[in-house]
């Protein structure tokens, strides 16, 4: 008997990360896991323009970006387009619950990044996540 894989709610992911090695690793990990990486950008301007012009199911955004603003600006733009966002950061962030579905603390391992996306997908479906990684804080 063959088991069909359930349809994902999250397929198209935008990565907003200014650390090239982290961006590269995340992009390849998520592609290998079957996600479509619609873009990997490192500035607020690129991220907000992309969210406004292309279909995106989830934004993974660092908070501390090196040029022109920070991840909270990206979160506000995503929120305005009803696109869920998870901060992926080592920064301490006040008010994240008003802007994001959660925060995944850096450093994290690859398994935790994948589990974060699965947990967000469960929340979007109105379900309780099966596994919440140690470094992930989910918001209601």
CATH number of the domain residue 22 falls in: 3.40.50.2300
With contact defined as beta carbons under 8 Å apart, do 8 and 124 qualify? Answer: no
Beta bridge partners of 88: 104
The low-confidence residues of the chain, meaning pLDDT below 50, are none
- The total of structural domains in the chain comes to 1
Is 125 among the domain residues? yes
Is 6 among the domain residues? no
Is 89 among the domain residues? yes
Is this model's pTM higher than 0.85 or not? yes
Q: pLDDT at position 8, please?
A: 79
Is 69 among the domain residues? yes
Q: Helix, strand or coil for residue 16?
A: strand
Q: pLDDT at position 75, please?
A: 94
Task: Of 72, 73, 61, 77, give the one whose Cα is nearest residue 18.
Answer: 61
Q: pLDDT at position 3, please?
A: 58
Q: pLDDT at position 96, please?
A: 81
- Expressed as residue numbers, the domain containing 68 is 12-138
37: DSSP letter: E
Is 123 among the domain residues? yes
Is 7 among the domain residues? no
Is 96 among the domain residues? yes
Q: pLDDT at position 10, please?
A: 96
């Amino acid at each position: 008997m063959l088991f069909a894989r359930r349809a994902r709610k999250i397929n198209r992911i935008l990565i907003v990360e200014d650390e090239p090695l982290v961006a590269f690793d995340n992009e390849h990990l998520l592609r290998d896991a079957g996600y479509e990486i619609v873009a990997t950008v490192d500035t607020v301007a690129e991220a907000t323009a992309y969210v406004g012009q292309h279909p995106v199911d989830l934004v993974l955004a660092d908070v501390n970006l090196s040029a022109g603003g920070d991840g909270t600006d990206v979160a506000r733009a995503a929120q305005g387009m009803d696109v869920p966002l998870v901060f992926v950061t080592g920064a301490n962030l006040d008010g994240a619950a008003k802007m994001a579905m959660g925060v995944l603390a850096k450093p994290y391992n690859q398994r935790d990044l994948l589990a974060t996306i699965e947990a967000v997908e469960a929340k979007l479906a109105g379900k309780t996540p099966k596994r919440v990684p140690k470094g992930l804080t989910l918001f209601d």
